[in-house]
Amino acid sequence: MSRRQPVVAIIALVLGFSLPAVGQSRRGELRGAWIGAAHDRDRPAIMQSLQDNGFNALFLSFSTGDDLVTAAKAAREHGLELHVSRTNWVLHGARPDLLADLERAGRLQRNHRGQLARDDPEVGVDWLCPSHPDNRRLEKEAMLELVRRYDIAGIQFDYMRLPSGDYCFCDHCKEQFQRGTGAPVVHWPDDVLPAGPLADRWRQWRRDLITSLAEEISDEARRLKPDICVSLAAWPDLDAAREAYAQDWPAWARGGVLDFICPMDYTEDEAELAHLLDRQLKATRGETPLYAGLGAFLIKSSSVLIGQVEAARRAGADGFAAFAYASGDLVKWLPDLHASVAAVDPNPMPHRSPPAHFSFSGQAMASSPGEGEVLAGAALEVEIMLGGGLASPEEQEKTGAAEAQAVLRRMMETRRPIASYEEEGLPAAMGEEEQRLSGRIVVEDPSGRGLLVLGAFDTDARLLRRARFPAPQGPFRIAIYGTEKTGARQQDFVCRSPLLIGAKAEDLQAQAIHAELDRLGKEICDRPEVQQMAHLNATFQLEATGPGGGEWWLRLSDGNCESGEGTVANPDLTFAASAEDLLAIARQDADPFLLWQSGRLKAAGDPNLLRRLAEVFASR
Residues of the chain with CATH 2.60.40: 356-503
DSSP state of 542: E
The tens digit of pLDDT for each residue in 111-162 reads 999 999 999 999 999 999 999 999 999 999 999 999 999 999 999 999 999 9
DSSP state of 539: E
| CATH number for the domain formed by residue range(s) 512-618 | 3.30.1050.10
Average pLDDT over all residues of the chain: 84
The tens digit of pLDDT for each residue in 203-251 reads 999 999 999 999 999 999 999 999 999 999 999 999 999 999 999 999 9
Q: How far apart are the first and last CA of the chain?
A: 53
The per-residue pLDDT for 433 is 62
pTM of the predicted model as reported, rounded to 2 decimal places: 0.78
In whole angstroms, what is the distance from residue 429 CA to residue 45 CA? 42
Helix locations, 108-182, DSSP H = 133-149, 171-181
Topology (CATH level 3) of domain 356-503: Immunoglobulin-like (2.60.40)
The per-residue pLDDT for 508 is 76
**pLDDT exceeds 60 at position 345:** yes
Return the higher-pLDDT residue of 392 and 104: 104
| Segment 94-112 mean pLDDT | 96
| Segment 532-556 mean pLDDT | 83
Residues 441, 454 contacting (CB under 8 angstroms): yes
In b/e form, how buried is each residue of 396-418, taking b as 16+ CB within 10 angstroms? beebebeebbebbbebbbebbbb
The per-residue pLDDT for 618 is 52
The per-residue pLDDT for 43 is 80
In whole angstroms, what is the distance from residue 296 CA to residue 307 CA? 12
Return the higher-pLDDT residue of 601 and 470: 470
In whole angstroms, what is the distance from residue 44 CA to residue 62 CA? 17
Cis previous bond, 240, omega within 30: no
Cα 326–Cα 327–Cα 332 angle in degrees, nearest 5 = 75
Band (558; pLDDT cuts 50, 70, 90): confident
Q: Which of 18-27, 326-335, 422-431, 607-616 has the lowest mean pLDDT?
A: 422-431
Band (369; pLDDT cuts 50, 70, 90): low
Which of 505, 58, 86, 471 shows the shortest CA–CA distance to 291?
58
In b/e form, how buried is each residue of 562-571, taking b as 16+ CB within 10 angstroms? ebeeeebeeb
| Segment 74-91 mean pLDDT | 96
The per-residue pLDDT for 549 is 85
Residues 605, 571 contacting (CB under 8 angstroms): yes
Band (424; pLDDT cuts 50, 70, 90): very low
The per-residue pLDDT for 370 is 63
Residues of the chain with CATH 3.20.20.80: 27-88+138-164+187-349
Helix crossing, 579-586 with 608-618: angle to 10°?
70
Return the higher-pLDDT residue of 584 and 196: 196
Q: Count CB-CB contacts under 10 A for residue 480.
A: 25
The tens digit of pLDDT for each residue in 495-538 reads 999 889 898 877 777 777 788 888 877 777 877 767 767 677 88
Band (189; pLDDT cuts 50, 70, 90): very high
The per-residue pLDDT for 400 is 44
**pLDDT exceeds 60 at position 71:** yes
Q: What is the DSSP string of 36-68?
A: -TT--S-HHHHHHHHHHTT--EEEEES--THHH
The per-residue pLDDT for 616 is 59
Q: What percentage of the chain carries pLDDT values higher than 70?
A: 85
**pLDDT exceeds 90 at position 542:** no
| Segment 323-352 mean pLDDT | 91
The per-residue pLDDT for 132 is 97
The per-residue pLDDT for 495 is 92
**pLDDT exceeds 90 at position 172:** yes
| CATH number for the domain formed by residue range(s) 27-88+138-164+187-349 | 3.20.20.80
Q: Which amino acid is at 259?
A: D
Helix (H) or strand (E) holding 72: helix 66-77
**pLDDT exceeds 70 at position 23:** no
The per-residue pLDDT for 410 is 44
Band (552; pLDDT cuts 50, 70, 90): confident
Q: What percentage of the chain carries pLDDT values higher than 90?
A: 54
3-class secondary-structure state, position 364: helix
In whole angstroms, what is the distance from residue 605 CA to residue 554 CA? 14
